[in-house]
Amino acid sequence: MLIAAFPAGPLAANCYFVGRGPGAECVIVDPGMDSLTGIRTIVTEQNLTPVAVFVTHGHFDHMWQAADVAAEYDVPVYVHPADRHLLADPMAAISGESAAMLRTQFGLDDAPEFREPADVRDATDGAVIEVAGLRFTVDHVPGHTPGTVVYRVDHTGDEPVSQVAFTGDFLFAGSIGRTDLVGGDMEQMAASLRRFMELPDDVAVLPGHGGQSSVGRERATNPFVQQYVGSSAPSGGGDV
């Protein structure tokens, strides 16, 4: 099994590649800001054939170049219906004040004209997406955005890992996604965490920012998860 990644753009959002191995078909997860050059490099180096784009949620740092990647490789984009509108208008998920700050800090006034990709498909809760010779299960985990999803796939390799979960901004190593942006909801986040933490300890967590972890490690050490398990998670969260 091949899993490759690189941090894209000024917010260092992880863009992932998942396939059965070098020279095979692959899925690209979260092609964010300034990701296309890195995507082309890894596709060439690993001799990969992209066959789908998975978007974990509609924030701009995770879908900035989804339409470009989909057009270049003529592939569909999977996203939850509740976040689909953000493919064409990602700033709808950010308050006016935050958007103004981001425009100044990251030069978003030079952003491309966002558009919905030609082929958009629903990533709904419990769906099984069979692509690139793999079977991905979709978990709808609202809280960071209404349409945040996790994509899980069985792991094949020597590591003691049963599945790999691409968690976007839902769950990080040591933190969770913030809930104070447009569409965020702490009660939904708590319910999503409760459900997700029913997975086995050996499920690998590959988040949208930062390094990887596991369900067992987060259950044991993540202060937001621990507080949530005891009563309720603290308000907010620790990342974008």
Q: Using CA atoms, how far apart are residues 216 and 66, in angstroms rounded to an integer?
A: 32
Residues in Cβ contact with 105 at an 8 Å cutoff, skipping those fewer than 6 apart: 10
Q: Using CA atoms, how far apart are residues 112 and 88, in angstroms rounded to an integer?
A: 11
The per-residue pLDDT for 92 is: 86
In this predicted model, what pLDDT tens digit does every residue of 176-206 receive, in sequence order? 999 998 899 999 999 999 999 999 999 999 9
The per-residue pLDDT for 234 is: 41
Q: Would you place residue 166 in the very low, low, confident or very high pLDDT band (cuts 50, 70, 90)?
A: very high
Share of the chain above pLDDT 90, in %: 79
Q: Using CA atoms, how far apart are residues 87 and 75, in angstroms rounded to an integer?
A: 15
In this predicted model, what pLDDT tens digit does every residue of 52-109 receive, in sequence order? 999 999 999 999 999 999 999 999 999 999 999 999 988 888 766 666 666 666 665 5
Q: Would you place residue 117 in the very low, low, confident or very high pLDDT band (cuts 50, 70, 90)?
A: very high
Q: Using CA atoms, how far apart are residues 214 and 234, in angstroms rounded to an integer?
A: 21
2-230: CATH topology is: Metallo-beta-lactamase; Chain A (3.60.15)
- Inform me whether the pLDDT recorded for 12 exceeds 70: yes
Mean pLDDT of the chain: 91
The per-residue pLDDT for 183 is: 93
The per-residue pLDDT for 157 is: 77
**The model scores a pTM over 0.75:** yes
Delimit the domains of the chain by residue range: 2-230
Tokens representing residue 100 in the block:
């103004």
